[in-house]
Chain A
């Protein structure tokens, strides 16, 4: 549907295989206008491969990806009009200056891109180093030059693949501020990252990927709120406490964690549980409500946690 209105990113059933390895496995992604969308997963989860498919650099084995309703596979670079970004580290010609590199990519963009070079250099604070060869740039400067190159296209959608990777803390802070500023200007941003703090700070929606599959896709605040009703329990006898909790109606997902237990239950059930523990001769040292961080949720989804007790204490766990 060229030229028609569209959702910035809509991918359905994306699959990419390399030999026996399925790098991206049936991935659906929907990024709405104005979203700052976190694409979160450990290294090797298939984030970069997904971005490459979105940008038309590689062909999916199955599925479709559309940017504003245009399929890069069918429409080539026409599908990238209004779209910019980079996968892995942005690459430039080391023997050319920063400005010369931008002149080159602007020439390949046309449409007045060359007239935006000065503004883009100012935005990423590289104007004073623009006449130096890129071969002498630091990693952070190259990342910023990558953003400048993307801005030349006056994009509505920005795809950034781990833009803060390899930067020092100051560089990471500056890069996040820059992305925030661009998002505030109305750009839709897809940010691939394995840094939880970064996603939590910048994004309002997330997809969490594990071994090529999306294990969560939706609102970040909703994801964080979904862990409400979880409690941390420390007692004089955690094994006995786990048995009592697991037998209690309304108590679910009892796990040994960090020298105590965690469990899910409503407030009235927790009150009943505290009485039941006392009657069982188990002293309560602490019983506190706990909201999971994105990091905990991420590891739970991408690596798994110790198994739930389910009424029976597994031997050798949480000793």
Chain B
């Protein structure tokens, strides 16, 4: 039997890449109500904290760093929120998008729609990973920003006393809050990578979101066991405290440096595993 052959369609000279995927991932996020749930929580939770402090003038959260200073300077509010946020809120906000961004497309069948266009699979993955990370950064920024704004309005934008006992000006305090937030971002990147891995491997959005949150809580439980003290420095969730090193005078960079390499130790393998799975997987959903 013979079949007619023709000249093959010409290969495209230029293909859309990561930037195109990233841009459209952001547009898709903006079009979904779920996206705003996480961002809403990033605003509402610090607001509730400030309102609770105003409502009860007798108590301070003394057990956490800067907890004894919340009524002295509004700048202490975002720092206290960073500690509280690491327990479940920031991992949850991160997982809401990172855990969903691949799995939901697999479940709904849209993954096959975008993987049969002209973009390489790894470009699609990279665009999604960047979008998920951007969302986590935005969520964390809104969380800290809201806490700072409301804290300042409620208790004043006043000089703040660092963990080493030195009192610094408002300007220096704001710079340190910014630096602390950047340090806090290191384990957030790790959580994003874990969520992406679960999203890719489980192909189930709910399982990936809940799984990420459970993994975060499980690590915190491990970190709380004195018998496992040797493990604590290597846990991703422990790195959520690294920012406190910067809120000293002079700054203690050791926990920040540790947070960088420990977070990288979680992030890189998780991302590589997710990428490998995504590039090689059979797409059968939907």
Contact = CB atoms under 8 A, between A and B. Distances in A.
A217 B24 CA distance: 42
Contact of A70 (B8, B28, B118): B8
Interface in B261-286: 280, 282-284, 286
B226 interface: no
A91 B16 contact: no
Interface string B82-95: 00000000000000
Interface string B168-185: 000000000000000000
A105 interface: yes
A142 B222 CA distance: 49
Contacts of A111: 12, 14, 118
A105 B113 contact: yes
Given A91-B113, A109-B117, A109-B118, A30 B3 contact: yes
For chain B, the bracket of interface size reads 35 or more
B8 A77 contact: no
Given A77-B118, A108-B117, A111-B14, A57 B112 contact: yes
Interface stretch (A5-13, A224-232, A254-262): A5-13
Nearest to A186: B6
B6 A33 contact: yes
B230 to A, nearest CB: 43
B15 interface: yes
Given A58-B282, A58-B283, A76-B120, A93 B9 contact: no
A82 interface: yes
Interface string A58-82: 1100000000111000001110111
Given A111-B14, A156-B9, A57 B284 contact: yes
A46 to B, nearest CB: 13
Interface in A10-37: 10, 30-35
B32 A110 contact: no
Listed from nearest, the 3 A-B pairs whose CB atoms lie closest are A82-B9, A32-B3, A91-B109
